[in-house]
Amino acid sequence: MYIPAHFAVNDPAALQRIVREHPLGVLVRQDADGLDADHIPFEFDPAVGPLGRLTAHVARANPLWQRCPAGTPVLVIFRGAEAFISPSWYPSKHETHRQVPTWNYEVVHAHGTLTVRDDERFVRGLVARLTREHEANEPRPWKMGDSAPDYIDAMLRNIVGIEIELTSLVGKSKLSQNKEERDRLGAAETLAARGRDELAQRMRQPG
């Protein structure tokens, strides 16, 4: 990934924030059939190992878990807030007409090695944690106990767990840091007015 110095994310806490807030990752791998990718919601534990660990599950019918022996190198891409930026949103454009369209975004590339966990206890615990986290804001959070035990048992038999021990975390936040402050804030205000509040907030505080 090309990262100009002014867009680089070097703070581990900032990298972890993007992963936590946007847990649907794109897992990229290469096997005998070439490159492939899967879109998977991940659990991230920054306390495991030097850089953290990602855990997730895939359908048993997904060939990923059979084609990736222990230690297979993989890349997981986490995309944060993003949006098109029009030059018309910059005050300076209307004075000099020396601006062009662009796209602002935050992204993290997580490299690591994959291990398959075809283990019912592991998968049950993972699903329970993911459910608690993502149901937390519901008026009546769903839990596995809401369904019949035999139904949940059957669902769990149809998935396989994976773990990824991270070897590097690389991040990029392209938030108009290379623009004048008035242009950066002007673009942020337009985004906010159009309902893109997350990116607008990040652009107001790009550090």
Residue 52 included in any domain: yes
Residue 90 included in any domain: no
Q: Is 16 helix (H, G, I), strand (E, B) or coil?
A: helix
Count of structural domains, the chain:
1
Residue 68 included in any domain: yes
pLDDT digits (tens, 9 = 90+) for 107-154: 999 999 999 999 999 999 999 999 999 999 999 999 998 999 999 999
**3-state SS string for 44-103:** EECCCCCCCEEEEEEECCCCHHHHCCCCEEEEEEEEEEEEEECHHHCCCHHHHCCCCCEE
Residue 189 included in any domain: no
Is 32 a residue whose pLDDT tops 90?
no
Residue 195 included in any domain: no
pLDDT digits (tens, 9 = 90+) for 156-169: 999 999 999 999 99
Residue 42 included in any domain: yes
Residue 108 included in any domain: yes
Is 87 a residue whose pLDDT tops 80?
yes
- Summary mean pLDDT of the chain: 94
CATH of the domain at 11: 2.30.110.10
Is 40 a residue whose pLDDT tops 90?
yes
Question: Which residues span the domain enclosing 24?
Answer: 5-81+103-176
pLDDT confidence of 207, banded at 50, 70, 90?
A: low
* Cα–Cα distance list, 169 to 14, 44, 98, 174, 175 (Å): 11, 12, 35, 17, 19
pTM to 2 decimal places: 0.93
Is 82 a residue whose pLDDT tops 90?
yes
Q: Is 159 helix (H, G, I), strand (E, B) or coil?
A: strand
Residue 155 included in any domain: yes
